[in-house]
Amino acid sequence: MALREIKHYKKDACLRKKSKVVEKFDDKLKLIIEDMIDTMYQADGVGLAAPQIGILRRIIVMDVGEGPVVLINPEFTRQTGEEEDSEGCLSVPGLRGMVKRPVDVEVKGKNSKGEEIMLNGKGLLARAFCHEIDHLDGVLFIDKVVPGTLEG
Ligand code: CO
């Protein structure tokens, strides 16, 4: 188990950069994924994107209480509904705010072996997908927060 330092929105410019597509599905990628999952659990988070540990690659991990989910090069194939709920971020410690997100999403991407996969997320998992995929484009939840709802 290897924990990585979680980058902070006020100190680390990497959180505002666009991540690159993963092309090599090798042992190095598997190690990054393992470290991301360990770091997410240690920090008691429900999701983590690679730029949050300073790696500008399109990798996300999540666990909303149903076991770890890993997705590489994720792309939305469907987003339906809209729901406002409270959100926070490990890179924005101490702050929470309301964000509108779709209630049901379908996302395609690759697993750690490079195989095409399609995943479905509802409710909290849909929210986690949206939040983590935003990280891959340098977007933070504070950019989308409903005005006047940011607290901390
Ligand atoms: Co976040």
For residue 5, give every residue at least 6 positions away whose Cβ sits within 8 Å of its Cβ, in sequence order, or none.
53, 54
71 and 119 in contact (C-beta within 8 Å)?
yes
Task: State in Å: Cα 117 to ligand 1 middle.
Answer: 23
Per-chain mean pLDDT for the chain: 97
Give the whole-angstrom CA distance, residue 63 versus residue 66.
6
The whole-number pLDDT of residue 72 equals: 98
Task: State in Å: Cα 53 to ligand 1 middle.
Answer: 11
Task: State in Å: Cα 67 to ligand 1 middle.
Answer: 18
pLDDT of 1 > 90? The answer is no
pLDDT of 30 > 90? The answer is yes
Task: State in Å: Cα 139 to ligand 1 middle.
Answer: 9
Catalytic positions:
132
Percent of the chain surpassing pLDDT 70: 100
- List helix spans (H) across the chain: 27-42, 124-135
Enumerate residues with CB within 5 Å of ligand 1 (an ion): 89
The string of pLDDT tens digits covering residues 43-79 is 999 999 999 999 999 999 999 999 999 999 999 999 9
Residue 52 to residues 58, 59, 123, Cα–Cα distance (Å): 11, 10, 23
The whole-number pLDDT of residue 87 equals: 97
